Chain A
Amino acid sequence: MVNGLNLAFQFLDSFAFVVLAAAGLAIIFGIMGVINLAHGEFILVGAYATTFAVTAAGLPLPVAMVVGSLVTALFGIAVERTIISGFVPNWIGQRTVGRDLIEPLYDRLADSMVATFGLSLVMVQSARILFGNSIETVGTPFGNVAYGEFSYSTYRLVLAGVSILVLVAAYYVFTRTTFGTRVRATMADEQTAKALGVDTERTYMLTFGIGSGLAGLTGALFAPVLSMQPTLGDQFLIEAFVAVVVGGPSVVLGTALSGGVLGAVSATVTNLTDSTTFGRIALLLAAMLALRFLPGGITGFIERVRSRRQEGE
C-alpha cells in the first residue's frame, strides 16, 4: 500500500542522503579533476570529530557538527598541501635535494585515484588503531513526527532541509562571489586565469578545503544516526559516485538534480514493492540508463539542448 506521506518522507530521506553523500565529491572532482577515493574517509573524519566533540569535549551537538566540518576542512587542506598538490614535499625537496619530489595530481584521474585509494586504506586502519573497532555514538535529537499508524524521525527531515541549504550555499559561493568566479576561471582555463592574476594554487587549496569540509559536514550530520566504525564511509561511496556521474558537469545543479531523480526513483520503487532491495536495484538501473542515454549526465544534456536551441534561433 502506498501512503503519500510515507512516500514524501522517504523521498526527502533519499534525496538528503544522495545530495550530502555527493556534494563534497562533486566539488573536488568537478572543479579539480581529482577522483577522491578517500571521500568516505573524509566523511569518517567529520563523524568521529563530531562524536568526540560531544562525548569527550562536552560540546552541544550543533556546535560539535560545526567543529567536525571545520576539522575535516583543515584535514582536507593538509591532504591537498602534502599529497594532492605536493606543495609541502616539494618545498622540502627543493631545500634538500634541490628539486621537486612529486607532480601535482590535478587532472590526473587514474593517478589521483591510486593516491587517494592508498590514503583511504591508511585512514581506515589508523582510525582502527587509534580509536578501536568502534566508538560510542551520540543519540539522535528531535524525536519523531507521528501520522496515523506511522511515524518518521524528525531529524531525518532536518537532514533534508540541510541538504537543500548546502546546495543553495554552494550555488551562491560558486556563482555569486569573486572567489567563485576565480574558481570557475581556474577550472575553465588554468593558464589564462593565472595570466590574469588568479592565484590558482590558492584557489585549488581552498576548493579542496571546501569539498572536504562538505564531506565532513555529511559525516557530522549522519554521526547521530549511524554506527561509528572505521568503515562507516563505505556506505556513502556508491551513492556519491553514482550521483556525480548522473549529475553531469555542472557541480551544484547536477548534484541537486541527480539527488532529486535518484531519490525519487529509489523512494517510489521501495514504496511500491515494500522492499529496500528493489529500491536499490532501481537506483542503480536508473544510473545505468542515465549513463547510456545521457552520457554527459543530466546537466550535460541540458547544456546540449540549450546550445542546440541557441543555434536554432
Chain B
Amino acid sequence: MSGDGFSRRQFVTAGGAALVSGLAGCSGGGDGGDGGAATDTMSSADTVKIGVLEDQSGNFALVGDPKYKASMLAIEEINNDGGIDGKQIEPVARDPQSDNQRYQELTREFISEEEVDVLWAGYSSATREAIRPIINRNEQLYFYTTQYEGGVCDKTTFAVGPTARQQLGSVLPYLVEEFGPKIYTIAADYNFGQLSADWVKVLADENDAEVVGEEFIPLSESSFGSVINNIQDAEPDFVMSMLVGANHTSFYEQKASAGLDVPIGTSTAMAQGYEHRRLDPPAMENIYAGVNYMEEVPTESNTGDGGFVDRYYDMYPDADYVNEEAETNYFSTYMYKEAVEQAGTLEQPEVIEALESGISLGTERAPEAPEGETIELDGATHHVDHHMWVLRADGEHNIEEVTNRKIPEQFLSNTVGCDLTQEDEQTQYTPVDYFEEAE
C-alpha cells in the first residue's frame, strides 16, 4: 500500500505544528501592565467590585469550576446579609479556559478597564507566576487560593491555600509512625512536583525517615506499568504521591489493578479532583490525603445541617463536589470582607494593611471557616495558619478522619523570615536555598 500525493514530511510538519499549538498555549508572554494607576482611580464607591478568574473549561475545569461556584456562593451570602460595609458586591467573572495567555489578558483587562477592587485568579502555580508580574506592576490586591508548593512572599498577593509544608507536614509524620520510615516519592515533573518532592526530603529528615526512591513523571504520561514496578522494586513502607492532572489520575486505577497495596500519602489526590467519587472502588483504598479541606471534613459548620456543603448544593444542585480550593475561595472572600470593614475603605493599600493586622475567622465577628475552628491570616507572610486534616479512603471509597490539628505556615515565617509588614517583597523562595536535604 502506498499513499501517493502527499509527502510524509509534510504530514509531520503540519501535524507537529498543530500538536504544539494545541498543547502549549502557555508561553510566558509579556507582563506589560497598563500603568500603575489602578489603586488611585478606584471604582465607583457604591459597590465592591470583585474579579473572579477561575477555569470553567480546558484542562483545569474539573478543579477550577468548584472555585468559581464557591466564590459566587460567598458573594451571594454576603450580599444577602447586607453587603460589605453596606455596599453590595458586584462580581466580575470570566472564563480563562485554563490558558495562561488568556489569564494575562484578562488580568490586565480586569485591572485597567474593570478596575476591580480585589482579584481571585488561577488554579495552577504556572498561572499564578504568569500573572504575578502584572499584579505586581499594578499593585493589585490578589488572592491565590490553591494549595501550592509555598514560598511566595509578595506584598499584594495573599496565598491563602495551604502550602506543601503544611499539607505534607500533616500526612507524612503520621505515615512514618504508622507504617515505617522508607518513603518512595512520585511527583509530576514540573515546578510544583519538584518542590513538593524537596519538601518530602526535608520532612523525611525531620521525622527520621528516608526517601528510598524518587520519580518525576511527565504530565502527558498515562501508563504507569514501569512506575509500579519501580515502587515494587524499592519496597517502601509508603509512597508519597504528588501526581497532578487528568493523565496522572490513571495511576490510581492502574496500581489497584496491578495489586500494589502499599499505603499512599498525597497532597493532590481526592481533595481537589475527587478521585474517590469518580473512580471505581477500590482504586483509592488506603490513600491518605493531607489537606485543609475536603467535602467530607466532619465539622459542624461544614457537614452540619444548613452548613457549607448544604448551602453550596442548594445554590448549585448539579455540582459534583466541593473541593479543597472551593473552601479557600469561600473563606477568603469573608476575610476580605472583614478587612474592608476594618479599614473602612476600598483603597487597596489600606485594605492590605487591614489584612496584615491579622484577620481571624471563627471569632465573634467572623463566621467559622468550614475546615474548622478559628483560622488566622498571618499578616507578615500573607499565608494562613490552617486546620489540617489527614483523611483516608477505605475499600468502598468512604472517607474517614485519621487525625487533625492546626498547622501554621512555617517556611516563610520561621526559615526565610519574610515579613511583609516591614519590607515590601515580590519573591518566591524555594526549599533548596535553605535545606541541605533538598539539594
Binding site for B on A (CB under 8 A): 1, 3, 6, 9-10, 13-14, 17, 29-31, 33, 35, 37, 107, 109-110, 113, 117, 125, 128, 132-140, 142-144, 146, 149-156, 174, 184, 187-188, 224-229, 231-232, 234-235, 237-238, 241, 244-245, 248-252, 267, 270-271, 274-277, 279-280, 291, 295-297, 300, 303
Nearest chain A CB to B160 CB, angstrom units? 24
Q: Are A280 and B218 CB-contacts (below 8 A) given A133-B61, A245-B12?
A: yes
Is B436 close to A, CB under 8 A? Answer: no
Cβ–Cβ contact A137 & B253, under 8 A: yes
Q: Are A17 and B223 CB-contacts (below 8 A) given A227-B278, A245-B11?
A: yes
Q: How far is the CA of A29 from the CA of B14 in the complex (A)?
A: 13
Which residues of the partner chain A approach B235 to less than 8 Å between Cβ atoms? 149
Q: How far is the CA of A297 from the CA of B287 in the complex (A)?
A: 45
- Other-chain residue from A3, A31, A144, A229 in contact with B259 (beta carbon distance below 8 A): A144
Q: How far is the CA of A18 from the CA of B189 in the complex (A)?
A: 22
- Comparing B242-250, B297-305, B336-344, B365-373, the segment that makes contact with chain A is B242-250
The B17-33 residues at the A interface (CB cut-off 8 A) are 18-19, 22-23
Cβ–Cβ contact A250 & B18, under 8 A: no
Q: Which residue of B lies closest to A281 (CB)?
A: B218
Which residues of the partner chain B approach A137 to less than 8 Å between Cβ atoms? 253, 278-280
Between A and B, 18 residue pairs with Cβ closer than 8 Å are: A3-B233, A9-B225, A29-B11, A37-B22, A109-B10, A110-B14, A136-B280, A140-B256, A144-B257, A152-B228, A152-B258, A153-B254, A155-B257, A225-B250, A226-B222, A234-B22, A237-B19, A275-B216
Q: Are A235 and B259 CB-contacts (below 8 A) given A134-B62, A276-B215?
A: no
Which residues of the partner chain A approach B189 to less than 8 Å between Cβ atoms? 277
Which residues of the partner chain B approach A30 to less than 8 Å between Cβ atoms? 1, 3
Q: Which residue of A lies closest to B189 (CB)?
A: A277
Nearest chain B CB to A27 CB, angstrom units? 10
Is B229 close to A, CB under 8 A? Answer: yes
Cβ–Cβ contact A279 & B226, under 8 A: yes
- Other-chain residue from B6, B18, B226, B250 in contact with A117 (beta carbon distance below 8 A): B18
Q: Which residue of B lies closest to A152 (CB)?
A: B258
The B235-294 residues at the A interface (CB cut-off 8 A) are 235, 246-247, 249-250, 253-254, 256-260, 273, 275, 277-281, 283
The B302-353 residues at the A interface (CB cut-off 8 A) are 320
Nearest chain A CB to B189 CB, angstrom units? 6
Is B428 close to A, CB under 8 A? Answer: no
Cβ–Cβ contact B14 & A140, under 8 A: no
Is B204 close to A, CB under 8 A? Answer: no
Nearest chain B CB to A143 CB, angstrom units? 7
- Other-chain residue from A29, A143, A231, A280 in contact with B59 (beta carbon distance below 8 A): A231
B14, B15, B277 — which one has the most chain A CB atoms within 10 A of its CB?
A: B15
Is B35 close to A, CB under 8 A? Answer: no
Interface of B is mostly: helix
Nearest chain B CB to A289 CB, angstrom units? 13
Cβ–Cβ contact B226 & A271, under 8 A: yes
Q: How far is the CA of A138 from the CA of B257 in the complex (A)?
A: 12
| Cβ-closest 7 pairs across A and B | A139-B280, A227-B249, A140-B257, A144-B259, A133-B62, A153-B257, A153-B258
A107-B6, A150-B232 given; 19 more Cβ-contact pairs under 8 Å: A13-B225, A29-B3, A29-B11, A37-B22, A128-B57, A137-B279, A144-B259, A149-B235, A151-B260, A152-B229, A188-B2, A188-B4, A226-B253, A227-B246, A227-B278, A232-B246, A238-B220, A274-B230, A291-B12
Q: Which residue of A lies closest to B224 (CB)?
A: A276
Is B208 close to A, CB under 8 A? Answer: no
Cβ–Cβ contact B226 & A276, under 8 A: yes
Q: Which residue of A lies closest to B281 (CB)?
A: A139
Cβ–Cβ contact B254 & A225, under 8 A: yes
Cβ–Cβ contact B226 & A250, under 8 A: no
Q: How far is the CA of A139 from the CA of B19 in the complex (A)?
A: 31
Is B65 close to A, CB under 8 A? Answer: yes
Which residues of the partner chain A approach B320 to less than 8 Å between Cβ atoms? 132-134
A1, A37, A226, A295 — which one has the most chain B CB atoms within 10 A of its CB?
A: A226
Nearest chain A CB to B185 CB, angstrom units? 13
Q: How far is the CA of A231 from the CA of B58 in the complex (A)?
A: 8
Which residues of the partner chain A approach B246 to less than 8 Å between Cβ atoms? 227, 229, 231-232
Interface string of B51-72 (1 = CB under 8 A from A): 0000001010110010000000
Cβ–Cβ contact B254 & A10, under 8 A: no
Cβ–Cβ contact A277 & B258, under 8 A: no
Cβ–Cβ contact A149 & B233, under 8 A: yes
Which residues of the partner chain A approach B226 to less than 8 Å between Cβ atoms? 6, 10, 267, 270-271, 274, 276, 279
Which residues of the partner chain B approach A142 to less than 8 Å between Cβ atoms? 257
Cβ–Cβ contact B218 & A10, under 8 A: no
Which residues of the partner chain A approach B23 to less than 8 Å between Cβ atoms? 234
Cβ–Cβ contact B278 & A136, under 8 A: yes
Which residues of the partner chain B approach A280 to less than 8 Å between Cβ atoms? 218, 220-221
Q: How far is the CA of A117 from the CA of B15 in the complex (A)?
A: 10
Q: Which residue of A lies closest to B5 (CB)?
A: A107
Cβ–Cβ contact B233 & A150, under 8 A: yes
Is B217 close to A, CB under 8 A? Answer: yes
Nearest chain B CB to A303 CB, angstrom units? 7
Nearest chain B CB to A32 CB, angstrom units? 9
Cβ–Cβ contact B247 & A227, under 8 A: yes
